[in-house]
Amino acid sequence: VFVSAQLSLIQMYLQRRNRHLVKQEDAVVIAIHLLGKLLGFTSERAWHRFVTGNLFTNGSFLERSRYNRRCRALGFAIKWIRHELAKRGQHHAYAVVDSLPLPLCHTARMHRVKRFQEIADIGYCASKKQWYYGLKLHLQVTDQGLPMGYVVTEASCHDRIAAESVMTQIPHPYNFGDKGFISRDLQKRLYEEYQMALWTPSRKNQKHRASETWEQWIQQKRKVIETVFSVLV
């Protein structure tokens, strides 16, 4: 029902040849594809095997290669509907926010480079422990790796400064960040104005620290954004 309602809002997505000869309607294919993502299937072959063995046992579903081509043809509609699902929020347990350095030149050239001087500068990457010249991508993703909001800033922009702009594009009540987002003022403002909770690991010199189990749990949940960054790179 949700997919059919959203398809009526998308213009020109069905303009292709022989649309009347399809074995399954576009709404069914998109709904099946989204259901596989929501259930956590990472292999298209495994998901197609599950669908044909449990949902369409009479052989009325598409064979795998045809299913793959249909999904690619409907890629714009699928992205639109996944974005609308992200706005609703109930399909995602939590969101993760982090930043990714976007270097524009080699480190040896960063003091004499002339390109993008008006929007780029020199910043420090704490994970790699090195300076770089370029930009910084601030990104928020769901627990399934779906991007919800992003901001591109200069490399020297701190994560705390861009955090509110990123997290309020599609607000989620539960958010995880790394140590760069530690700020009582930021956490208080997000909770009071947007009803959003931001949890971060503790620094070693903090007076009040969470348990070791909690720290490991947050670190494990934040791995999804590292996977998204690897794909983008």
Question: Which pLDDT does position 22 carry in this prediction?
Answer: 73
**Is the pLDDT assigned to residue 133 strictly greater than 90?**
yes
Cα 150 to Cα 98: distance, rounded to the nearest angstrom: 10
User: What tokens appear for 207 in the block?
Assistant: 């007076």
Mean residue pLDDT across the chain: 86
DSSP-derived secondary structure letter, 15: -
The contacts of residue 160 (CB under 8 Å, 6+ apart) are: 180, 181, 183, 186
Segment 164-170 mean pLDDT: 90
Question: Which pLDDT does position 215 carry in this prediction?
Answer: 84
In the chain, what are the domain boundaries? 2-88, 95-232
Q: N- to C-terminal Cα distance for the chain?
A: 36
Q: Sorting pLDDT into bands at 50, 70 and 90, what band is 15?
A: low
pTM score: 0.68
Q: What percent of the chain has pLDDT over 70?
A: 93
Question: Which pLDDT does position 49 carry in this prediction?
Answer: 94
Strands 121-125, 95-103: parallel, antiparallel or unpaired by DSSP?
unpaired
Beta strands in the chain, from DSSP E residues, in sequence order: 95-103, 121-125, 130-142, 147-154, 174-176, 197-199
Q: Which of 17-21, 37-41, 167-171 has the lowest mean pLDDT?
A: 17-21
76-125: pLDDT as tens digits: 888 888 777 766 655 678 899 999 999 999 988 988 988 888 899 999 99
